[in-house]
Amino acid sequence: MSGHARADTDACTTAPVDPATRAMAVEVAAPDGGGPFVYPLFAPAKGSEFPAVSKDGKVIVQLFHEGEDFSGAPITTLMFWSNRGTVIARYSLGSSNAARADGVDAKVPTKAEAALGKAANARLATRRWRPLAVHPACAPADAPVDDSDHSSTVQLDGDVAVTFDPVEQRLVSTRRGRTTKLRATFSSHGTRMGEDSHGGCGQITRLDYGFGGRDLGVAILVPDASLGGDSCFGLPTSDNALAIKLR
């Protein structure tokens, strides 16, 4: 999820390799290897680890690595949220549109790609960052999980569990035995080919992972989704990530 190995602590939490607060940056470079899609992407610079929260607790950042539907072309997206759950910046490199024409050096960033990397690093440089633990969806013994509905649960920091019901498309949080239905909902996953409207062509099926929690005041939930057939293109995972306030 960050491009770095992470230290496993238990089935429901993956701890940062290095929890120290420090400066972080991204690199813009083409990955090694061949294939039909070779072009520069974002990657964590040496010593950087995502997701992370700023030292003052006001900004959260994650670097998403994913692939475009159907083509499989890689996409990387650096996302910034405020501690109130608002997206404040988004930088993306990749997709089949980034493929290089014959005779063009695939590993050399274009001026636009280099400028995007510079802008992303300028924003990162305004703060120092502390890596966050990642919480994969799992089923701890005390988490509210309804197997008959194939619900999925993420156990966040601060003793907060968030469960997603794919039948009702509903999120609930549980803390100290108290369950609360959340107002937040995931956006529609799919788009029809040749249409600008969303919806009717796929849905969120489960939670994949989350980070943040009660102590931070906000959490980011990252879902898995399914498409509705060959007439669908799915939105990038970064666009489907949902920030929820926990205070």
**Same structural domain, 127 and 12:** yes
Structure tokens at 34: 């061949």
The distance of Cα 102 from the centroid of its chain, to the nearest Å, equals: 32
**Same structural domain, 11 and 127:** yes
| 1 occurs within a structural domain | no
Question: Quick one: 43 exposed, middle or buried, by C-beta within 10 A (0-12, 13-18, 19+)?
Answer: buried
Statement: residue 197 has pLDDT above 60: no
**Which carries the bigger pLDDT value, residue 6 or residue 111?**
111
Dist CA 66 CA 72 (whole Å): 9
Looking at the structure of the chain, the number of domains it has is 2
| 2 occurs within a structural domain | no
Nearest to 229 by CA among 196, 175, 190: 190
pTM score of the predicted model: 0.88
**Same structural domain, 74 and 143:** no
How many C-beta atoms surround the C-beta of residue 153 within 10 A? 24
Mean pLDDT of 68-97: 93
**Same structural domain, 151 and 237:** yes
**Which carries the bigger pLDDT value, residue 72 or residue 145?**
72
How many residues are recorded in the chain? Answer: 247
* Average per-residue pLDDT for the chain: 87
> What is the domain extent for residue 219?
135-245
Domain boundary among 131, 163, 193: 131
* Highest mean pLDDT of the ranges 12-21, 28-37, 134-143: 12-21
Quick: pLDDT tens for 94-152: 998 887 776 677 888 999 999 999 999 999 999 999 999 999 998 655 545 444 458 99
How many C-beta atoms surround the C-beta of residue 92 within 10 A? 19
Domain boundary among 131, 147, 181: 131
CA end-to-end span of the chain: 26
Dist CA 108 CA 157 (whole Å): 41
| 27 occurs within a structural domain | yes
Quick: pLDDT tens for 152-193: 999 999 999 999 999 899 999 999 989 999 999 998 788 776
| 233 occurs within a structural domain | yes
Domain boundary among 131, 148, 164: 131
